[in-house]
């Protein structure tokens, strides 16, 4: 078996780390470089380029160079986020058959999973070259605020890259692990993670070897590239004012300005003034070449980007309230991510917290180091020491009610793992299918949240309406990935299902599925998940079902049981960890009463029965069909 590494898959740059002889380190290559640009391209000769090679040619080939793909992964093409992105990205986004985002490069169509897998494969190759050994396992980090669909997509990308993904780990949790493991601390810390494309803030309690996330939040569309864009817009406006030429439609010019803006921003973290000099950016009416040559001060940069920094502070305030904590109760603040190096960010955090941030972690390496510690633990043999890692759900998961609002099944900051069951009943005689849609997000209306997908339960046995009861178990694993299983309560047989991606409620002009009348509620039935089912529910996230919310309001009568999460134990030797799960104690089980959803008949061809009472083989096949083989 090959080596296991930790991978920080970033929006702008990625890195890998490994634990050797009990000590974690960042993997370097080619003259000591430790990061790889998260860039993919195809040149005019048809050659695929990744990393530094792709970034170097971006200015001359902007329409066929893909950067910041992490911002797009797992998103619906019709979401408001993608509408905004299409206006600023230099490469072309197209809609897939199931409303997923695809990218067109040199007239070839790629999924976001394929783009990300190319970057992961490059990281793997670099690691193997540096280590002189095969690498076939990894822990991959994601923003804490990634939803289920995005997490599933990252797992799929890892598999396409030939990696066994041991775990998808939240970036702030990884940073906390790098900071606190082996120090026997008893602290409450805040991890402020401002990277190239995303922002996360997490409140985490460290009690010796227990790492417990209390609350988390963030913005998956706020990061260093937004700071770059502010500089770019200022340069464009200045050039148009001076020369009367609008460069915003020139993709080559845009790429050149964006690259120069990034360099200037980085320089202003150590100097007070710098120049942006870009020769021959355009020609005037007389055919004379025009240059960009402007001075940018740190003061001007802060004026351009101050509101972005304040957005992060507002999010920090909100998450502190959700965590029930005050600034004075935070022992240390960790700054993680390249954009956290900005002096204004450090100054505002110091002003807000009343103390300077910790110097205990490297902002560019902490996440990768934490991922490596976890990767080593999951691939290592058992030891006598243990570390408990307890994470939470970043956003609520729920289903659609009749009025279009979301009925929440799992609350935000719900400790993980967790599961609930729900009983669906037929609303028509001899109904053979039921459709269930699932959303994730903090908005009241489903239309403003992310549609994770749609489950269609097929080949239901023929019976009068209300006589068939389908028991659906929703399980969220320790990675925050949702899985579904379903069975006929009367017969105990597994119900066949089909997973499909659906269109979000904020699509314009798209026809929604008709709603079915609410079925008469079945009599209350308490459900206890057997241990064998619970064990099965803890399988691979890649093969786990991704679900989509229903369209009807839950009706009274059905019951589902809520169990508090299992303990996720991680055994360690030195600074390594080994994760094990123990079943939830019976004395913490709780039963709630909710309405059963209206059944929506859906015509569907007969499906082949599932093996072993599991839906996951089918979902795995679905992933393979969409994203390609492993």
Whether 8 is a known active-site residue: answer: yes
Cα separation values, 513 from 56, 322, 344, 466, 486, Å: 47, 36, 49, 21, 22
Among candidate residues 193, 219, 418, 553, the one labeled active-site is 193
Whether 171 is a known active-site residue: answer: yes
Tell me phi and psi for residue 105, to 5 degrees.
Answer: -130, 120
Cα separation values, 417 from 142, 166, 168, 430, Å: 17, 16, 14, 36
Whether 219 is a known active-site residue: answer: no
Tell me phi and psi for residue 40, to 5 degrees.
Answer: -130, 140
If you search the block for the tokens 């609410």, which residue do you land on?
518
Structure tokens at 590: 């709780």
CB 102 within 8 A of CB 109: yes
Could you report how far apart the first and last alpha carbons of the chain are, in Å?
A: 17
If you search the block for the tokens 């303990």, which residue do you land on?
567
Tell me phi and psi for residue 88, to 5 degrees.
Answer: -120, -20
Cα separation, 220 vs 71, whole angstroms: 7
Whether 70 is a known active-site residue: answer: yes
Is the four-CA dihedral 36, 42, 45, 46 of positive or negative sign?
positive
Among candidate residues 148, 171, 391, 543, the one labeled active-site is 171
CB 224 within 8 A of CB 196: yes
Cα separation values, 211 from 148, 184, 216, 334, 540, Å: 22, 11, 14, 15, 23
Q: What is the DSSP string of 190-225?
A: EEEEE-SS-EEEEEEEEETTEEEEEEEEEETT-SHH
Among candidate residues 3, 55, 70, 265, the one labeled active-site is 70
Q: Omega into 417 within 30° of 0, i.e. cis? A: yes
By annotation, the residues acting in catalysis are 8, 70, 171, 193
């Amino acid at each position: 078996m090959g080596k296991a590494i930790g991978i920080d898959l970033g929006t702008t740059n990625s890195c890998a780390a490994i634990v050797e002889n009990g000590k974690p380190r960042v993997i370097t290559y080619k003259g000591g470089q430790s990061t790889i640009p998260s860039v993919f391209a195809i040149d005019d000769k048809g050659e695929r380029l990744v990393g530094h090679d792709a970034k170097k040619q971006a200015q001359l080939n902007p329409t066929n160079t893909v950067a910041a793909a992490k911002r797009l992964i797992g998103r619906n093409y019709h979401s408001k986020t993608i509408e905004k992105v299409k206006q600023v990205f230099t490469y072309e986004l197209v809609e897939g058959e199931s409303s997923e985002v695809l990218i067109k490069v040199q007239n070839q169509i790629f999924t976001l999973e394929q783009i990300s897998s190319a970057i992961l494969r490059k990281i793997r190759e670099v690691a193997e070259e540096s280590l002189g050994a095969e690498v076939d396992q990894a822990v991959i980090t994601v923003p804490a605020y990634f939803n289920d669909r995005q997490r599933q997509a990252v797992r799929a990308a890892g598999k396409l890259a030939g990696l066994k993904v041991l775990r998808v780990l939240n970036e702030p949790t990884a940073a906390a692990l790098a900071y606190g493991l082996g120090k026997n601390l008893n602290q409450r810390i805040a991890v402020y993670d401002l990277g190239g494309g995303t922002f996360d803030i997490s409140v985490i309690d460290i009690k010796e070897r227990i790492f417990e996330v209390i609350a988390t939040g963030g913005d998956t569309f706020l990061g260093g590239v937004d700071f770059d864009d502010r500089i770019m817009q200022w340069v464009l406006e200045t050039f148009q004012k001076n020369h009367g030429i609008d460069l915003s439609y020139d993709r080559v010019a845009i790429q050149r300005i964006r690259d120069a803006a990034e360099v200037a921003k980085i320089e202003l973290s150590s100097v007070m003034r710098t120049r942006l000099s870009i020769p021959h950016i355009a020609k005037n009416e007389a055919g004379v070449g025009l240059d960009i040559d402007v001075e940018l001060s740190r003061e001007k940069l802060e004026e351009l980007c101050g509101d972005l920094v304040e957005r992060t502070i507002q999010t920090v305030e909100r998450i502190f309230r959700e965590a029930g904590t005050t600034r004075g109760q935070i022992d240390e603040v960790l700054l993680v991510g390249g954009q956290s190096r900005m002096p204004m960010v450090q100054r505002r955090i110091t002003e807000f917290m009343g103390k300077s941030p910790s110097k205990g972690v490297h902002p560019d390496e902490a996440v990768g180091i934490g991922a490596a510690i976890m990767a080593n633990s999951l691939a290592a043999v058992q030891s006598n020491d243990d570390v408990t890692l307890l994470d939470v759900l970043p956003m609520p998961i729920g289903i659609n009610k009749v009025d279009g609002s979301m009925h929440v099944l799992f609350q935000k900051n719900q400790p993980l793992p967790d599961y609930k069951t729900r009983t669906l009943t037929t609303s028509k005689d001899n109904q053979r299918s039921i459709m269930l849609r699932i959303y994730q997000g903090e908005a009241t209306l489903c239309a403003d949240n992310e549609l994770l997908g749609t489950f269609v339960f097929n080949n239901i046995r023929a019976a009068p309406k209300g006589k068939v009861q389908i028991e659906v178990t929703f399980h969220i694993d320790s990675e925050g990935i949702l899985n579904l299983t379903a069975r006929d309560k009367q017969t105990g047989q597994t119900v066949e299902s089909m997973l499909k991606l659906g269109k979000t409620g904020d699509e314009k002009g798209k026809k929604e599925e008709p709603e079915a009348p609410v079925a008469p509620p079945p009599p209350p039935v308490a459900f206890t998940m057997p241990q064998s089912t619970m064990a099965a529910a803890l399988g691979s996230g890649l093969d786990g079902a991704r679900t989509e919310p229903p369209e009807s309001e839950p009706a009274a009568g059905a019951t589902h049981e809520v169990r508090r999460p299992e303990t996720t134990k991680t055994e360690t030797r030195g600074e390594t960890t080994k994760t094990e799960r123990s079943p939830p104690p019976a004395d913490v089980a709780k039963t709630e009463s909710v309405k059963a959803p209206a059944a929506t008949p859906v015509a569907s061809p007969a499906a082949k029965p599932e093996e072993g009472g599991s839906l996951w083989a089918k979902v795995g096949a679905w992933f393979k069909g969409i994203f390609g083989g492993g």
